[in-house]
Amino acid sequence: MRHMKTGMLCLISVVALTACDKGGKGEYSKTLKNVNVIDESNLNDIMLTVADPNEAVTYFQKASRDDPDRLDLQRGLGQSLLRAKRATEAGVVWAKVIKHPEANNDDQVFYANALVRQGEWKKAEKALDAVPPTYETFERYRLEAIIADTNKEWKKADSFYQTAVGLTTTPGSVLNNWGFSKLTRGDYDEAERLFGEAITYDPSLFTAKNNLVLARGARKNYTLPIIQITQVERAQLLHTMALTAIKQGDTQTGKTLLEEAIETHPQHFEAAIRSLRTLES
């Protein structure tokens, strides 16, 4: 009898262990799946931010083929194509995304962005018109401003730029765009102010520095602004200012600036040398 009880206890223990083992495997599989989802999510984020844009495109193309019903992978592909400056392909992807039942206003804005980069201004305007006016984001108003600029609707453009600036903590690029808009309108003072403000937010923004020199040169102010620049940037800005002076008929000033640019550059400054030779010939 004692042996029988011992046998029964062993059997119960084995059954219990088996039950625990089965439950453990189930829980383990579930946990592993969750870990995989987290890892994939992290990988997706990396691909959308710091990875090489074309590598990200390849990654999301494969992932989308393997799981074509996942909207997040389609979005990742669309964003990666935009980062890789493949706007036409991006437009095709976002056109598909916005037709998805779970598509949102962000998707519509991304679609408009792809259209803007293709120069499809009317289609981009129509895409943004489909976004409710209550949906207010930096990217939405940045695109609205660019489209208004293209249509030469200056008051609307200024309003949209102002709104966009207020919706971001890093407005350097949009201030530069706004300044360039003012430059093309001939409002050189305001353009210079906006370029200067853009540089205060992003001292590495060379485009704004170059545009600032153009705005000053347009008023025949051929002195470099007091801003943070490297020696190479100084040489490049002197070259820009020289060409601006020459274009406005101030040939001798332009020649002097070209010579200074060549002397300032720490290496062989082929572009400035070529400009000087052309001028002298």
Residue closest to 120 by CA, chosen among 95, 101, 156: 95
- For residues 257 and 242, is the Cβ–Cβ distance under 8 A? yes
The pTM for the full model equals: 0.81
Domain boundaries, the chain: 42-112, 136-221, 230-281
Dump pLDDT digits (tens) for 108-119: 999 999 999 999
For residue 41, the model assigns a pLDDT of 67
136-221 classified as CATH 1.25.40.10:
yes
pLDDT confidence of 11, banded at 50, 70, 90?
very low
How many whole angstroms separate alpha carbon 108 and alpha carbon 39?
28
Token look-up 């704004």 returns 208
Task: Place 171 in a pLDDT band, splitting at 50, 70 and 90.
Answer: very high
Alpha carbon distance 205, 176 (integer Å): 9
Statement: residue 123 has pLDDT above 70: yes
pLDDT digits (tens, 9 = 90+) for 184-215: 999 999 999 999 999 999 999 999 999 999 99
Q: What is the mean pLDDT of residues 168-196?
A: 97
Q: Does domain 42-112 have CATH number 1.10.10?
A: no
Mean pLDDT on 250-258 = 96
* 21-62 confidence digits (pLDDT tens): 444 445 544 443 444 444 666 888 888 887 899 999 999 999
Residue 154: exposure state from Cβ atoms within 10 A (0-12, 13-18, ≥19): middle
Say which residue the tokens 């453990």 belong to.
24
pLDDT: which is higher, 101 or 29: 101
| Topology match between the domains 42-112 and 136-221 | yes
